[in-house]
Amino acid sequence: MSKEHFNQDLIQFLNASPTPYHAVATMVAKLEKAGFQPLDESEAWTLKEGENYYVTRNGSSIIAFTLGKPELGARMVGAHTDAPCLKVKPHPEMSRHSYFQLGVEVYGGVLLNPWFDRDLSIAGRVQYLNDQQQLCHQLINFERPIAIVPSLAIHLDREVNSGRAVNTQTDIPPILFQLADDENVDFRELLKEELVRQGHSDCQEVMEYDLSFYDTQSAAVIGLKNNFIASARLDNLLSCYVGLESLLNHKGSDTTALLVCNDHEEVGSVSTTGAQGPFLKSVLERIYGTGESLTRAMSRSMLISTDNAHGIHPNYASKHDEHHAPKLNQGAVIKVNANQRYATNDETSALYRILCQASGSKVQHFVTRTDMACGSTIGPLTAGVLGVRTLDLGLPTFGMHSIRELAGTEDAFELSQTLVNFFKTKSLPS
């Protein structure tokens, strides 16, 4: 696959994945096309060496793997499916000054200002009763722009450019339409109409939902010299896509190659589906057994946790340590933090750099300014659950947690080639 083809496929993946549910569904479709077999957590598993499998939990986290020889351990890549966004509240209907709006909850660390004046849509999962009174669930995506959060005119807030705070309760409920006099709207009825319109005519009553707003603008290659990819949810669907392509393209290896993409990273990872929950450990126990067997397997294994890094921004360069200031299109970034906000250690960092030397890939380092707090990711949490050696790695981006983030067009393709080699790595130091 050429780099251009890879990036075009990435753009389709980003557009098709407005929520973790859609991201997992998109990944499942690619895995099934490549012959991966579904596993059901509620059934007994009979796994065979050399075969390809995947399993999902709650439809929002996924683990896919090619089973290798148990004595070689696993080469694992981790990422997360969720992104900061605005979620629809359970009783969201608001009718104010003739406008119908939806009350929203802020999910994760949303950069709020970029959400104003965007053409928004809604996607997620709906629980409904069908005509047999059975509870069913269905992914839903309105696709078309159906809502907007208009800015306040500068004439009504002269201080806006020098200091604007956004109140999350009062300032961001999106407007969906204008109401007729005395019109009463039930959001669940609107959902039912949309489900029927999308072909689910068995829907009798919408019970509950997990719905998010998202920007309808397509991901795109941009810049005068096509240096950049702009999109929502690059954190961290970029890593999900790179990990998936690497798993699909690695062939002829005896080691177990595994990709885990967890939900709920942006809200701390403690959940049934999150990296600090039991999902990955339970799958590894089914592969290797429990107790000592698992400990021995993990001591022969390695995890690369992939989550984006902060590239140095030319307008805000002082926010970086000048010696640890990654640039877009200059390679994946090894993320280091002495206080273990990142799980990278000297050994995993050195092993990754050897992989880069072998494949001719570029590599950079990131350490937060010593006088600033450091973010974290699934790496330390997964390492803490499994006791597996871990590298925290990420592609350099701008605008993390904005509704439109920016990555380089060179980096993702190059990282996927390095991760293919990682999946094939036979021996690790003991």
* CB-nearer residue toward Zn ion: 192 or 310: 310
Shortest gap between Cβ of 292 and Zn ion (angstroms)? 34
Shortest gap between Cβ of 141 and Zn ion (angstroms)? 22
Which residues are within 8 A (CB) of 251 and not within 5 positions of it... i.e. 6 or more apart? none
Q: Does 376 bind Zn ion (CB under 5 A)?
A: no
Q: Does 305 bind Zn ion (CB under 5 A)?
A: no
**Cα separation of the two ends of the chain:** 35
Shortest gap between Cβ of 404 and Zn ion (angstroms)? 16
Kind and range of the H or E run holding 391: strand 389-394
Q: Does 262 bind Zn ion (CB under 5 A)?
A: no
Residue 190 amino acid letter: L
> What is the rounded (10 degree) CA torsion for 197, 115, 151, 90?
50
Q: Does 307 bind Zn ion (CB under 5 A)?
A: yes
Q: Do 378 and 269 form a contact (C-beta atoms < 8 A)?
A: yes
Residue 406 Cα distances to 231, 234, 376, angstroms: 7, 8, 20
Q: How many residues bind Zn ion (CB under 5 A)?
A: 3
* CB-nearer residue toward Zn ion: 245 or 265: 265
Shortest gap between Cβ of 101 and Zn ion (angstroms)? 29
Question: By CB under 5 A, which span of 30-38, 269-277, 299-307, 418-426 interacts with Zn ion?
Answer: 299-307
At residue 55, the 3 state secondary structure works out as strand
* CB-nearer residue toward Zn ion: 103 or 311: 311
* CB-nearer residue toward Zn ion: 206 or 412: 412
Q: Does 269 bind Zn ion (CB under 5 A)?
A: no
> What is the rounded (10 degree) CA torsion for 23, 24, 26, 30?
140
Which residues are within 8 A (CB) of 330 and not within 5 positions of it... i.e. 6 or more apart? 362, 364, 396, 408, 411
Residue 368 amino acid letter: T
* CB-nearer residue toward Zn ion: 236 or 255: 236
Shortest gap between Cβ of 237 and Zn ion (angstroms)? 10
Q: Does 235 bind Zn ion (CB under 5 A)?
A: yes
Beta bridge partners of 406: 230, 398
Q: Does 82 bind Zn ion (CB under 5 A)?
A: no
DSSP state of 169: T
* CB-nearer residue toward Zn ion: 72 or 77: 77
Question: By CB under 5 A, which span of 235-243, 277-285, 294-302, 358-366 interacts with Zn ion?
Answer: 235-243
Q: Does 236 bind Zn ion (CB under 5 A)?
A: yes
* CB-nearer residue toward Zn ion: 57 or 401: 401
* CB-nearer residue toward Zn ion: 7 or 377: 377
Residue 175 has φ and ψ, to the nearest 5°, of -95, 130
Tokens representing 231 are: 């999109």
Shortest gap between Cβ of 263 and Zn ion (angstroms)? 12
Q: What x/- string results for residues 195 through 234 when contact with Zn ion is judged by CB under 5 A?
A: ----------------------------------------
Residue 237 to residue 62: CA distance in whole angstroms: 13
Which residues sit at the interface with Zn ion, rule CB under 5 A? 235-236, 307
